[in-house]
Amino acid sequence: MKNQVVFGLHAIQSLLDTAPERVLELLVLQGRQDQRMQSILAIAEMHGIAVSEKPRKTLDNMADGNHQGVVALAKPAKALTEDDLYTMVGDRDKATPFLLVLDGVTDPHNLGACIRSADAAGVQAVIVPKDNSVGLTEVVRKVACGAADTVPLISVTNLARTLQKLQESGVWVVGTAGEVEMNIYQAPLTGPLAIVMGAEGKGMRRLTREHCDHLAYIPMAGSVSSLNVSVAAGICMFEAVRQRQLNT
């Protein structure tokens, strides 16, 4: 497995905070000496991580996006499998299962934003199908602002089968759709939960929809017919957070 390129201040700060042993080398923009960079360099020095200054063109060629003057070469994190997911869900001594499922999200900016919101909401894992979905790219990591190192992204071969297994483990599956009668504020979002979001425009696939226990819509007062999937996911996850806090 080849080394990962991580870039951007937030993403690298999070990586240094959560898994400094993965960082092989830091490459920083020549002449950048501001306070934020000094903080990152101090952490790197504390962990004995090699640092080298590079011209902007070198960093531009390494990073697929705005690197903000810093790039890290890192060992890849251990990818969690479907079996890890079921072990996580089955361990009820830990937090009540709270999962986000994304069916057909192919835009890396949307996936990164969803992972960032999932981290803020306390979601334990984001689940995507192996086909018809973007993976954990450099852009996803950058947009996620470090959350990609704290919230596992689990790719599954058959999403409908995974949802069925989650249901058999006691997880309620709530999907989002535009033409149903129950809105997200009426949906039961407490207890073991997986929130399912479909791709913009197409929504959930038929088999995914059929494996939902409930379907709910997000009420909207304006003229826009749909929301960006990352915004919609954030609304649904934090409604679940609200309900769960009231239920404690």
What's the per-residue H, E or C state across the chain? CCCEEEECHHHHHHHHHHCHHHEEEEEEECCCCCHHHHHHHHHHHHCCCEEEEECHHHHHHHCCCCCCCEEEEECCCCCCCHHHHHHHHHCCCCCCCEEEEEECCCCHHHHHHHHHHHHHHCCCEEEEECCCCCCCCHHHHHHHCCHHHCCCEEEECCHHHHHHHHHHCCCEEEEECCCCCCECCCCCCCCCEEEEEEECCCECCHHHHHCCCEEEECCCCCCCCCCCHHHHHHHHHHHHHHHHHHHC
**158, pLDDT greater than 90:** yes
pLDDT at residue number 92: 66
Rounded-to-integer distance, Cα 29 and Cα 53, Å: 6
Q: Which residue shows structure tokens 């689940």?
A: 127
pLDDT for res 248: 66
Question: Superfamily for 4-74?
Answer: Ribosomal protein L30/S12 (3.30.1330.30)
- 19-33, 193-207, 213-227, 233-247: the lowest-pLDDT one: 213-227
**Which pLDDT score, from 0 to 100, does residue 63 have?**
85
**What residue ranges do the domains of the chain occupy?**
4-74, 82-247
Q: Specify the range with the lowest mean pLDDT, choosing from 49-53, 198-202, 218-222.
A: 198-202
What's the rounded mean pLDDT across residues 74-97? Answer: 84
Specify the higher pLDDT residue, 125 or 34. 125
> Could you tell me the end-to-end alpha-carbon distance of the chain, in angstroms, rounded to an integer?
43
Q: What is the pLDDT of residue 241?
A: 96
The rounded mean pLDDT for the chain is: 90
Indicate the pTM of the whole model: 0.80
Q: What is the pLDDT of residues 30-84, one digit of tens each?
A: 988 888 899 999 999 999 999 999 999 999 999 877 899 999 999 887 778 899 9
Which pLDDT tens digit goes with each residue over 5-26? 888 888 888 889 888 998 999 9
What was the pLDDT predicted at 77?
75
The architecture (CATH level 2) of 82-247 comes to 3-Layer(aba) Sandwich (3.40)
Partners of 196 in the β-ladder: 101, 175
Q: Which residues are annotated as a binding site for S-adenosyl-L-methionine?
A: 198, 218, 227
Q: CA-CA distances (angstroms) from residue 27 to 45, 73, 118, 136, 138?
A: 13, 8, 29, 21, 16
Strand partners, 183: 217
d(CA 164, CA 172): 10
In this prediction, residues 92-96 reach a mean pLDDT of 74
For residue 167, the model assigns a pLDDT of: 97
Which residues are known binding-site members? 198, 218, 227
Distances (CA, A) of 247 to 81, 91, 171, 186, 190: 31, 21, 17, 14, 7
The pLDDT of residue 119: 92
Question: Helix crossing, 159-168 with 82-90: angle to 10°?
Answer: 20
pLDDT at 1 over 60: no
Does the pLDDT of residue 146 top 90, yes or no? Answer: no
